[in-house]
């Protein structure tokens, strides 16, 4: 069995146990990207007519 090596972004050394630990580059959410995607989804739904024109969701912007 061949084990593929995991892509490592950054390593740090633990002060207590002196072991290597892998740390990701980004933690949490990118809120700008989340709201942009939600806005684009809503605009797409309105554009193709799934959300009715008289819906309160059309006056969001």
Q: What is the pTM of this model?
A: 0.37
> Are 51 and 58 spatial neighbours (Cβ–Cβ below 8 Å)?
yes
Which residues have C-beta within 8 Å of that of residue 58, sequence separation ≥ 6? Answer: 46, 51, 52
Q: What is the pLDDT of residues 3-52, one digit of tens each?
A: 555 554 566 667 777 776 666 555 566 778 889 999 999 888 878 776 56
Pick from 21, 1, 24, 26: which is nearest to 11 by CA? 21
Encoded tokens for 59: 């006056």
């Amino acid at each position: 069995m061949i084990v593929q090596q995991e892509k490592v972004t950054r390593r740090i050394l633990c002060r207590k146990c002196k072991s290597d630990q892998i740390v990701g580059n980004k933690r949490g959410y990118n809120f700008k990207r989340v709201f942009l995607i939600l806005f684009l989804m809503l605009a797409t739904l309105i554009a193709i007519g799934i959300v009715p024109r008289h819906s309160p969701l059309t006056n969001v912007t």
